[in-house]
Amino acid sequence: MSSRTAPRRLLVTGGCGFIGSNYVRERLAQAEGTEVLVNLDLLTYAGNPANLADLGNDPRLLFVRGDIGDRALVADLLSRHRIDAVVNFAAESHVDRSIDGPEPFVLTNTLGAFRLAETARAYWNGLGTEERAAFRFFHVSTDEVFGSLSPDDPPFRETTPYAPNSPYAASKAASDHFVRAAHHTYGLPTLISHCTNNYGPYQFPEKLIPLMLLNALDGKPLPVYGDGTNVRDWLHVADHCRAIDLILAHGTPGEVYNIGGLNEVRNIDLVRELAALLDGLRPHADGKSYAEQIVFVADRPGHDRRYAIDCAKIAAELGWKPRETFASGLRKTIAWYLENRPWTDAITQTRYARERLGAA
Ligand code: NAD
Ligand code: TDX
């Protein structure tokens, strides 16, 4: 592991989203190391300033509403705050929405990320020798760029060929290629990570775990796509954020790192487990199990069968492994949602949520 000084002046994009807000909180909670953290977020339907409300008084945190593709804005932020690392979380992140309408995914995930990298490159070009060497452009990608695994296939490695299947995955894959090219062609010190399905606090309730939790509590159906045997690997967001910081501090520019939770679970088993945990924590007055709310619905078009990540590289090179087991992480996550109903209520009462989530 290198002993370079970790970045201290960060531009974090998408910091009002699920993973970004967890990252901002973890990063600022570190006793030392962060002088400035500029959070650039467009506040799409998924961006929620309430995710960071508890950090409002931290003088190191600056929020700017804007688009990662806005070159003038990004250039100004980079130079004004003497940024030494960009961490790009900003994205359209929901696969179902990419199937309904792919264009916003191309605009933000591909064109936006490309422009962000280009603007960072122009800024980096103008830095002095030491600053150029220390600068990092971290691009948060996904395991979905590798496509779909059969039950007996080995997990995705960093060298697995790309085979994106959804418009979302295709838009992320394209941005990965541009980031890779920025390193290969121009020497921009880039880092790319591929992680599996994150879960934890502040996740927008269109994604599987919070959607099922809130539907269960509201007495609504729990819609399992297809036969429910699709497999996802679940990574607690705190473990993901820790991995990002390790890569940022000690990763090798131009390299790619896989991050996985080592928790492969079939969707139907996950939803049954969640129902059983809720039966214990919030039993229905009539004694019925939440599992009775499970319904099998039409499958997602092009639904990837299985994701799994081989994270031997980050374990060997940076000493990272997930700390959270799925049992402990799921319990904590359920507890967080039960304790934070005002946060979820504020989302489910928006017009967006009424349309998409079927909220009353
Ligand atoms: P999210 O949808 O919760 O948050 C995305 C954030 O980006 C929001 O705050 C939104 O307002 C902001 N944003 C969107 N377009 C923007 C733009 N053009 N300019 C600036 N800000 C913009 O997403 P998430 O789940 O936190 O995912 C974060 C990143 O991690 C994404 O790049 C996603 O592809 C990747 N990822 C997520 C998961 C997961 O399980 N959630 C897994 C693998 C990879
Ligand atoms: O209502 C549902 N019913 C259901 O069965 C929903 C919303 C999902 N599912 C299934 C589809 C998937 O097999 O659950 C699984 C997880 O679905 P999502 O939460 O939509 O996540 P996924 O499609 O796997 O993608 C996620 O992980 C990779 C993130 O949304 C992406 O941003 C990330 O890159």
Name the band, by pLDDT with cuts 50, 70 and 90, for residue 255. Answer: very high
Instruction: Tell how far the Cα of 292 is from the centroid of ligand 1, in angstroms.
Output: 33
Q: Cα–Cα distances in Å, from 222 out to 130, 290, 348?
A: 54, 9, 16
Strand partners, 137: 86, 190
> What is the per-residue pLDDT for 182?
98
Residue 63: how many other CB atoms lie within 10 Å: 17
Q: In what order do the strands lie in the sheet with 190-195?
A: 61-65, 36-41, 9-13, 85-88, 136-142, 190-195, 255-259
β-bridge mates for residue 139, sequence order: 88, 192
The domains of the chain, with CATH numbers, are: 9-204+234-263+306-325 (3.40.50.720)
Active site residue 143: yes
What integer pLDDT is reported at residue 189 of this predicted model?
98
> Residue 154, Cβ neighbours under 10 Å: how many?
9
Question: What is the rounded CA–CA span in Å between residue 52 and residue 307?
Answer: 30
Span from the CA of 14 to the centroid of ligand 1 (angstroms): 6
Question: Ligand 2 centre from 217 Cα, in Å?
Answer: 20
Give the span between the Cα atoms of 315 and 310, in whole angstroms. Answer: 10
Active site residue 339: no
Residue with tokens 């599992």: 291
d(CA 267, CA 274): 11
Q: Inform me whether the pLDDT recorded for 322 exceeds 60.
A: yes
At 3 the pLDDT is 52
- At 56 the pLDDT is 82
Instruction: State the pLDDT confidence band at 32, using cuts at 50, 70 and 90.
Output: confident
With 0.95 as the threshold, say if the pTM is over it. yes
% of the chain with per-residue pLDDT over 70: 96
pLDDT of residue 31: 63
Ligand 2 lining (C-beta closer than 6 Å) = 93-95, 142, 144, 197, 207-208, 211, 223-225, 230, 232, 267, 300
The mean pLDDT of 239-266, rounded to a whole number, is: 97
Quick check: 216 pLDDT over 60? yes
Catalytic residue among 143, 233, 239, 324: 143
Question: What is the average pLDDT value for the chain, to the nearest integer?
Answer: 95
Look at 123-127, 134-138, 268-272, 350-354 and tell me which has the smallest mean pLDDT.
350-354
Stretch 256-282: mean pLDDT, rounded?
Answer: 97
Known catalytic residue at 239: no
Alpha-carbon distance values, 231 to 62, 172, 334 (Å): 39, 21, 20
Does the Cβ of 18 fall within 6 Å of ligand 1? Answer: yes
Q: Does residue 205 have its Cβ closer than 6 Å to ligand 1?
A: no
State in Å: Cα 185 to ligand 2 middle. 35
The residue-averaged pLDDT of 74-93 equals: 98
Q: Quick one: how many helices (H) and strands (E) in the chain?
A: 14, 12
pLDDT at 250 over 80: yes
Overall average pLDDT of the 218-242 stretch: 97
By three-state DSSP, how is residue 139 classified?
A: strand
Residue 176 burial by Cβ neighbours in a 10 Å radius (0-12, 13-18, 19+): buried
Beta-strand (E) ranges in 203-310? 222-225, 231-236, 255-259, 264-266, 294-297
What pLDDT, on the 0 to 100 scale, is given for residue 1? 58
- pLDDT tens per residue, range 98-116: 999 999 999 999 999 999 9
Give residue for tokens 């996550």: 333
Would the pLDDT of 356 be above 80?
no
pLDDT at 360: 45
Model pLDDT, residue 348: 83
